[in-house]
Amino acid sequence: MTQRKKTTLLLVHCSYTKATQDIGVDEIRQWHTLPRPKGNGWSDVGYNLIVRRDGTLEHGRDIEAIGAHAKGYNSVSVGVCLVGGMSADEKPLFNFTQTQLTTLKHVLDYLTEKYPDAEVKGHRDLPNSHKPCPCFDVAAWYGQE
């Protein structure tokens, strides 16, 4: 995989799955690598890191590799995905566990130290996103706003 030359964004996403769906990197990798139209047809999982419902941190693409998680921003960002973000009736919902949020805080602390010039944002905060992902204001939650 191609390595990023610089990192200016730490982007938080959600898998847009229900709270009852305990998935991780293996399932997301399958979704991302299946050929179109059932999947994305990518070479690997798009995210660098995935936080499962129980707070377990799983590694997707290498932390220095260019991801496939935010069109137009992949070459300058690390993608972190929280599992969840969808209600039972398939609407956006902040349904993340406290354990997930604790893991996310630790991950962002590590990443902001590793990439001190990087800004923390949610996927929804990008100009071309048109998505509610990850269903909350990440920068305000993390205290960067």
Q: Of 59, 132, 36, 121, which is closest to residue 90 (Cα–Cα)?
A: 132
Greatest Cα pair distance in the chain = 41
Active-site entry in 32, 69, 121, 123: 123
Catalytic site residue from 69, 81, 121, 133: 133
SS3 content of the chain, % helix, strand, coil (to 5): 25, 20, 55
- The residue from 47, 73, 115, 142 that is catalytic is 47
Verify whether residue 32 is a known catalytic residue: no
> Is there a catalytic annotation at residue 131?
yes
Q: Which residues pair with residue 89 across a beta bridge? A: none
Containing 78, the helix (H) or strand (E) segment is strand 77-82
Q: Would you call 123 a catalytic residue per the annotation? A: yes
SS3 state at 123: helix
Q: For this structure, is 135 an active site residue?
A: no
Set 13, 32, 69, 121: catalytic member:
13
47 is catalytic: yes
**Cα atoms found within 13 Å of the Cα of residue 12, Cβ hemisphere only:** 28
Catalogue the active-site residues. Answer: 13, 47, 123, 131, 133
